[in-house]
């Protein structure tokens, strides 16, 4: 019997973080909270007035604890009444370096990090 849950299909570990998020579309801006993050995407709370469309491009700014800011372009991959899942599409070198270090610290396994980086392709 095979299990087709989302967790079994994931190639990237997700980590829970507290942080604020600003979501930008070409027409609006929303405030949200970060639920979790990975090398390939993030899950945020869904703002009550969110009018974004699935697969549409957004700019996302994550502000985590110690003033760390990560900014990237992402497409909305899925949404529920409470959350929105984003897939990273474009990220500058500084933000990628910060994201990689954050994931590295939380994975605690250099081999697993290398495997995830290789999966990015």
What CATH number is associated with residue 93? 2.40.10.220
pLDDT for 6 equals 44
Q: How many domains does the chain have?
A: 1
Residue 60 lies in a domain: yes
pLDDT for 65 equals 74
Q: Which domain holds residue 17?
A: 13-120
Average pLDDT over residues 6-28: 77
| pLDDT tens-place string over residues 51-93 | 888 899 999 999 887 778 899 999 999 999 999 999 999 999 9
Residue 51 lies in a domain: yes
Alpha-carbon distances of 74 from 23, 57, 66, 106, 110, rounded to whole Å: 10, 6, 23, 22, 26
Residue 107 lies in a domain: yes
Residue 2 lies in a domain: no
Residue 1 lies in a domain: no
């Amino acid at each position: 019997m095979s299990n087709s849950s989302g967790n079994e299909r994931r190639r990237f570990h997700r980590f829970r973080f507290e942080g604020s998020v600003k979501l930008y579309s070409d027409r609006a801006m929303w405030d949200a909270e970060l639920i979790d993050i990975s090398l390939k995407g993030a899950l945020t709370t869904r703002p009550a007035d969110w009018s974004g469309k699935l697969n549409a491009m957004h700019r996302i700014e994550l502000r985590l604890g110690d003033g760390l800011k990560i900014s990237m372009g992402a497409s909305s991959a899925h949404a529920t009444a409470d959350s929105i899942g984003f897939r990273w599409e474009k990220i500058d070198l500084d933000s990628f370096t910060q994201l990689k270090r954050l994931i590295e610290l939380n994975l605690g396994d250099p081999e697993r990090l290398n495997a995830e980086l290789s999966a990015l392709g």
